[in-house]
Structures are given as C-alpha cells and as structure tokens.
Amino acid sequence: MSITMVLLDLTVDSSLTFKLILADSVDSRHIHVSAKILSTFGQFTLSPVLRVSLLGDGMESVPSETVLKLYDRRCMANVRADFDEGHPFTLQKERECRQYLHALSQGDVQPCDFDDPPFMHETEISDGPFEAYLDHSCQKMFADEFATYQRLRALQETRVPRLYGTIEYKSSPLIDEDGSQVMLDRSTDYF
C-alpha cells in the first residue's frame, strides 16, 4: 500500500527547528533557531520557498522575518513529473531509498551515475535509486546556488537578496501505517 505524505512540516503556521550557520561567520558559528512558517511561495516544484518568522538567541545579524529556501527531495514535483509520472513522495519511496542506500553502502549494488546527463533519460530505475537521485540533485543544486551567492557577495542587498546563512534541518517524522515514526535524513539549505 502506498500512502501519499502530506508535508505537515512545510505548511503555514507550522514550526521548523534547525541549526543556522551564519554566512558572515569566520568560525562557522551556528545558532539553534525555531521558525514559524508565515506563508509559502507558489507550488513546491524544486525547492520550497517560505516566508518565516525566526526565534533564537544570538541572531542580531539576521532579521526576525525572512525568506527560507529549502532543498527537500520530497518536494521536487517537476522532476517527479518528468521521470516518475508525477507520482508524489510516499513513505514506501522513503523505505526503498533507505534500502538502496544501505545496499550501496554494503557494496551489494552498483552506484548509479547520477552526474551523467543522459542517465535519467536512458535508464529505468526503481523508487529507491530515484529518491537517491533526487537527493543527489538537491545537494548539487544547493551547492551551485550557494557558490553563486558567494561569487555575488558584493551585490547582495543591492542586486540580489542577502544570504544570511545555511541551515541543517531535520524534517518532521513520517508516520507509518502502523503508527511508527520514520525520520528523514538531514538536509542542508540556505536563507
């Protein structure tokens, strides 16, 4: 049985807790922050963009209300439409991804070449490797966008939004049919 997951942790009025690593910190200082989602921007296609209110100590250089962009594979609706017939994220897909990653770590399966441009167009893969592909894509997009913000540092707050930092975030646990909880792995994002 496949159950579509409602991403309750990414809805208006829900709260997120994360570790903020400030962009202008020389020593990679981090702050534990709580954020309340005030609004969302459009449909989540690649990465959710949220307007949030922030609470935490030591955040003098960060506004109390800001925009948070998450790279979360659960939300990649456009890629799912292109390669998975638009099927949404499910708990079963999460289980298969974990099984694939475990088998990969044990050397039981060959790694997929997600960096090869035609790979996804020419290769039929199951949900486990597909979710791993989405995670790989999220990490790559995050790294590319973060590097772009670093290169455009002089233009921040004048031509491009200011990058206040990156976050490490754990989503809310997913609830299985039997009531047990499943935690997703850490994701890294920015705002």
Q: What are the phi and psi torsion angles at 55 (to 5°)?
A: -135, 130
What is the CB neighbour count within 10 angstroms for residue 50?
23
Encoded tokens for 43: 């449909």
Place of tokens 């299985």: 176
Give the N- to C-terminal CA distance of the chain in Å, as an integer. 37
Hey, which residues does 67 pair with through a beta bridge?
51
State the Cα–Cα distance between residues 101 and 141, nearest whole angstrom: 20
Higher confidence at residue 44 or residue 143? 143
Contact between 64 and 53 under an 8 Å Cβ cutoff? The reply is: yes
At 67-121, the pLDDT tens digits run 998 888 888 888 888 899 888 888 889 889 989 999 999 999 999 999 998 998 8
State the Cα–Cα distance between residues 135 and 88, nearest whole angstrom: 15
Average pLDDT over all residues of the chain = 83
Q: How far is CA 8 from the centre of its chain?
A: 14
